[in-house]
Amino acid sequence: MDTANNGNNLARPRAGRRIDASTIAAIARLCAKQLTESESCHRLGIKPQQWFAWKSRHKRSERFAELLEAYRADRIEHLIERIEKSADGVDVKFPDFRAALALLKFQDQKRFGDSPAVAINPMPVIQISIIHEQLKKVIGFDCDADVKALPSAPVGGTLPAPEQKGGEHHEN
């Protein structure tokens, strides 16, 4: 009877997808589109551990970084060409001024970029809600007969401190 155990080779599951030039290029293209290397591997049916192990050998990381930089440069160039065509009205129904504005922002960020809005913070309004009896205790009045109208303070100023009974003056 012929089985897998009878042969010279050990029976084992098929290895994951082989990493070849087309796989490397596909990972670089996906990474240029802002996917991570792990996400790119999953999209291509490769185990990320297999990719990173392959890449770590024989200075492949450096060569992949160079390839990735070239793909990113090509992608940026292609996108800028699309913006230019849209701004000029090439291959589109109507020209789009926003495309020209985007190009201006790329060229001179200081003059044509989005500047942050200036935040003007008005003086904060603080509302104090204290019950009448608590207010009297804080100010130092013992009974309703001692309550007098407090003078109004100028904007941003402070009210004068109440006079202490018995001449005692405590500072913290």
Q: What per-residue confidence (pLDDT) applies to 5?
A: 44
**Tokens 């060409």, residue located:** 81
Q: Where are the domains of the chain?
A: 17-112
d(CA 73, CA 76): 5
- Average pLDDT of every residue of the chain: 75
In Å, the largest CA–CA distance within the chain is: 116
* pLDDT cut 90: percent of the chain above it: 28
Residue 13: predicted pLDDT: 39
* Confidence at residue 92, expressed as pLDDT on a 0 to 100 scale: 80
Place 167 in a pLDDT band, splitting at 50, 70 and 90: low
CA 101/CA 114 separation, integer angstroms: 11
pTM: 0.49
**Which structure tokens are listed for 14?**
């098929």
User: Is pLDDT above 90 for 111?
Assistant: no
**68-88 tens-digit pLDDT:** 999 999 988 888 888 888 888
Please, which pLDDT band fits residue 23 given cuts at 50, 70 and 90? very high
Of the listed ranges 49-53, 122-126, 165-169, the least confidently predicted one is 165-169
Residue 146 has pLDDT above 60, yes or no: no
Contacts of residue 72, defined as CB under 8 A and 6 or more positions apart, other chains included, come to: 32
